[in-house]
Amino acid sequence: MLELGASYVRFPQDDDHVIGPSLRWMVSRERERFALSGSLTGLLASGGASGYADAASHWLVPLAGGWRGEIGSEVGALLASATPSSSSYASSSIASLRLLRPIDRGGVWLRGSGNLSTREAGVLWGRGVDVGGWWRRSSAQLLASVTREWSVAQLFTGPGREGFVGVVPVHYTEGSLGVRLERASATLEVSGTARRDPEAEHLVESGFSAAATVWRTPTQALVLSVARQLPDFVRGAEASNSFTLGIRLNEPSPALAMALRTPPTVDVAAAEVDANADSTRRTLRVRAPAAQRVEVMGDFTDWEPVTLSPTAGVFSGSFALGPGTHRLVVRVDGGAWRPAANTPAVDDDFGGRVGLLVVP
């Protein structure tokens, strides 16, 4: 996913602001129980460029009683800073363990984490614990959490924070509530945060974010977002208010994403007699609404891939399919070969899985 836009960011603590073109790039990959993601965010202003990069991984482990364990990690680094900041450079790493329990339409979790950051003061340590839950119904999703964080903040002097003074412990409690509303071609995400910090200038501080996304095509959308961000002591980000208007590319709309998650199905049309070949041929159809290209191979193709012809989400081809049981696999848009969703799957002779298609 690539997002290009224009952003305005104000830093209330420094009474300063920046405005300019912005970029956000994100990529993610999932493989069974393992997920990996990364992002790059940049802002170009009159004083130069600012950029931040991060990467995260998650590994799920099934546990007893319906519980799941998740091992997570995250690393991030400030690449360049042309904006006021308490640190001219910053990097962070986070490791976490989480217990999740899906319940009907939602679930709950409990997580503990530890973090290590580098700033002017050197290496800073922190830890945190949070509990939360999620609930989903139709096109709405609710997410709530309470976090307790123990970290370290740096102190500076001067309007531009030229002089480093030292560090001070930070411990606060934070509650968050978020709502996501989803339609076929639009989403709205709104969240609010309240933080109670006895050592801060204000005992209670609040933040929020809101983002509206409207898809013009199945993979291109307009995005409008506003946010009031509280200081992030773990990642070294200052409090800020921001506004962004942009265009997002290569992200599927909710309708397309649902279609992509729907596995392909296969069926066979009635037999037709091919007088020239003197054999009975049948039309094999694969339903894959969001696919651009569908291939099939099986014992009736001598296990050679054959590209099917598309017509409104249905891909078809004519094959010599006699009565009986045939083995086949399907590939969508160059992905992995796999059995169709409506065919029983069995092991093949090479350690893979194939589907069984019964032709009457």
Write out pLDDT tens, residues 280-297.
788 999 998 878 889 999
pLDDT of residue 238: 83
Mean of the pLDDT values across residues 243-248?
96
Write out pLDDT tens, residues 49-102.
888 999 999 999 999 988 999 999 999 998 877 665 556 678 999 999 999 999
- pLDDT more than 70, % of the chain: 93
Q: Does residue 126 sit in the same domain as residue 163?
A: yes
pLDDT of residue 86: 53
pLDDT of residue 258: 80
Instruction: Identify whether the C-beta of residue 124 lies closer than 8 Å to the C-beta of residue 117.
Output: yes
Mean of the pLDDT values across residues 336-354?
85
Q: Does residue 280 sit in the same domain as residue 337?
A: yes
Amino acid at 251: E
Q: Does residue 58 sit in the same domain as residue 165?
A: yes
Domain C-terminal end among 233, 257, 281: 257
- Mean pLDDT, the chain, integer: 88
Q: Does residue 137 sit in the same domain as residue 194?
A: yes
The whole-angstrom separation of Cα 200 and Cα 299 is: 71
The whole-angstrom separation of Cα 29 and Cα 135 is: 24
Q: Does residue 222 sit in the same domain as residue 285?
A: no
Residue 260 has pLDDT above 80, yes or no: no
Identify the residue with better confidence: 115 or 350. 115
Write out pLDDT tens, residues 193-233.
999 999 888 899 999 999 999 999 988 999 999 999 999 88
Residue with tokens 């493989």: 31
This prediction's pTM: 0.78
pLDDT of residue 160: 60
Domain C-terminal end among 257, 285, 306: 257
pLDDT of residue 205: 95
Count of domains observed in the chain? 2
pLDDT of residue 31: 79
Q: Does residue 237 sit in the same domain as residue 348?
A: no
Domain C-terminal end among 202, 224, 257: 257
Long-range (24+ apart) CB contacts under 8 A made by 76-79 are 76/52, 76/235, 77/52, 77/53, 78/50, 78/51, 78/52, 78/236, 79/51, 79/52, 79/53
Mean of the pLDDT values across residues 263-268?
90
DSSP summary character for residue 255: H
- pLDDT more than 90, % of the chain: 57
Q: Does residue 280 sit in the same domain as residue 197?
A: no
Q: Does residue 176 sit in the same domain as residue 319?
A: no
The CATH number of the domain holding residue 314 is 2.60.40.10
Dmax (CA) for the chain in angstroms is 91
pLDDT of residue 8: 94
Q: Both tokens of residue 90? A: 């910053």
Q: Does residue 132 sit in the same domain as residue 271?
A: no
The whole-angstrom separation of Cα 208 and Cα 333 is: 39
Q: pLDDT grade, residue 153 (50/70/90)?
A: confident
The whole-angstrom separation of Cα 144 and Cα 139 is: 17
Nearest to 189 by CA among 206, 214, 220, 217: 214
The CATH number of the domain holding residue 185 is 2.40.160.40
Q: Does residue 160 sit in the same domain as residue 213?
A: yes
User: For residue 347, what are the domain limits?
Assistant: 262-359
The whole-angstrom separation of Cα 22 and Cα 42 is: 6
Q: Does residue 293 sit in the same domain as residue 213?
A: no
Identify the residue with better confidence: 14 or 185. 185
Instruction: Identify whether the C-beta of residue 162 lies closer than 8 Å to the C-beta of residue 156.
Output: yes
Residue 243 has pLDDT above 80, yes or no: yes
pLDDT of residue 323: 87
Mean of the pLDDT values across residues 131-135?
97
Residue 277 has pLDDT above 80, yes or no: no
Q: Does residue 190 sit in the same domain as residue 311?
A: no
Burial class (CB within 10 angstroms; exposed 0-12, middle 13-18, buried 19+) of 159: exposed
